[in-house]
């Protein structure tokens, strides 16, 4: 079984829980997810099966879209609703829509984030959440992330109350922490803040309408129709130039040989070689031999 299964991860489960359950449902060990979603988050989680596990990183690196609820007035240790409150300002607030949209504009484009302590980012070989659970504060590396667009979704002109909440839609690149973004929005508005809830509405080319729940996947597997929802691994390679391989190159590519650069290979891209429309290899520029390219991924069993 090979392909990408667009899964709708429900609340209460980790991404690893989904993989564990799918291995049992599908009867295969070659199952991998494409980007961790916290247990309190629901949404699109593409699952790679069989040969498609080799392209998981391409799906992980693709753009994501989220709908989040930002809560202004309290900050938590985890930057979301699950953590203990560490700061609060429950004074009466009046925040204009224009003020929020100005803050969102300042956080659009390439921005800098510091990963939250309760995250899977590694420092000195250990996950940050491991330090956090022991009460150890460590210096966290700053990282640049790309925010393509942020939209304020609620049709409200004036937000009032001790604790103000509003919904935003965020289209972003890999490595973005939406809960950290919520904190940053609060900082620009002058208040402590956290992310009250989060839904991932798309991952790469997959949207909510493409997805199935674990129960739906189980039902399809039981009646022998699971293949009807599997997407080809070629989906994950759609951003790369694709070339149907010639007969004289077929054996060389299948053996993973170093080849002369193809004309379709650009400076910062990989190229996909296909046979009868099926991807058999991804090649990229050779790092030390100018004018040559080498295999990055091979899919000999992609049928």
- The torsion of the CA quartet 272, 206, 58, 169, rounded to 10 degrees, works out to 130
How many residues are recorded in the chain? 303
- The torsion of the CA quartet 103, 104, 106, 110, rounded to 10 degrees, works out to 150
Angle at 277 between CA 271 and CA 279, to 5 degrees: 45
Q: What's CA 70's distance to the chain center, in Å? A: 20
Pairwise CA distance, residues 45 & 30, whole Å? 16
User: Which residues, 6 or more positions from 93, have their beta carbon under 8 angstroms from its beta carbon?
Assistant: 72, 73, 159, 160, 161, 162, 164, 191
For residue 103, give both structure tokens.
């803050």
Question: What is each CA distance from 27 to 7, 220, 222, 229, in whole angstroms?
Answer: 17, 13, 11, 16
Annotated catalytic residue within 17, 38, 239, 248: 38
Question: Residue 131 in 3-state DSSP?
Answer: helix
Rounded to a whole number of angstroms, the distance between the first and last alpha carbons of the chain is 10
Active-site residue, 38 included: yes
Are 234 and 53 in contact by the 8 Å Cβ rule? The answer is no
Question: What is each CA distance from 122 to 117, 131, 178, 220, in whole angstroms?
Answer: 10, 10, 18, 38
Catalytic site residues?
38
């Amino acid at each position: 079984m090979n392909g990408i299964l667009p899964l709708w991860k429900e609340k209460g489960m980790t991404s690893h829980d989904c993989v564990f359950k799918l291995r049992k449902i599908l009867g295969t060990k070659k199952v991998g997810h494409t980007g961790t979603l916290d247990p309190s988050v629901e949404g699109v989680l593409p699952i790679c099966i069989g040969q498609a596990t080799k392209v998981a990183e391409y799906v992980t690196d693709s753009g994501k879209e989220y709908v989040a609820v930002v809560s202004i007035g309290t900050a938590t240790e985890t930057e979301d609703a699950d953590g203990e409150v560490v700061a609060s300002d429950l004074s009466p607030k009046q925040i204009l829509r224009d003020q929020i949209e100005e803050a969102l504009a300042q956080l659009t484009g390439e921005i800098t984030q510091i990963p939250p302590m309760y995250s899977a980012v590694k420092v000195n070989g250990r996950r940050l959440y491991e330090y956090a659970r022991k009460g150890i504060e460590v210096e966290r590396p700053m990282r640049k992330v790309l925010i393509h667009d942020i939209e304020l979704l609620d049709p409200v002109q004036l937000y009032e109350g001790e604790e103000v909440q509003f919904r935003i839609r965020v289209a972003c690149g890999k490595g973005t922490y939406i809960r950290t973004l919520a904190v940053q929005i609060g900082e620009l508005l002058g208040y402590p803040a956290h992310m009250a809830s989060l839904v991932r509405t798309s991952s790469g080319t997959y949207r909510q309408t493409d997805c199935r729940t674990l129960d739906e996947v189980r039902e399809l597997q039981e009646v022998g129709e699971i293949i009807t929802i599997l997407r080809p691994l070629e989906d994950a390679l759609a951003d790369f130039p694709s070339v149907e391989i010639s007969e004289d190159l077929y054996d060389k590519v299948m053996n993973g040989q170093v080849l002369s650069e193809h004309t379709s290979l650009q400076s910062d891209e990989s190229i996909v070689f296909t046979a009868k429309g099926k991807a058999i290899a991804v090649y990229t520029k050779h790092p030390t031999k100018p004018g040559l390219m080498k295999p990055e991924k091979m899919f000999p069993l992609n049928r």
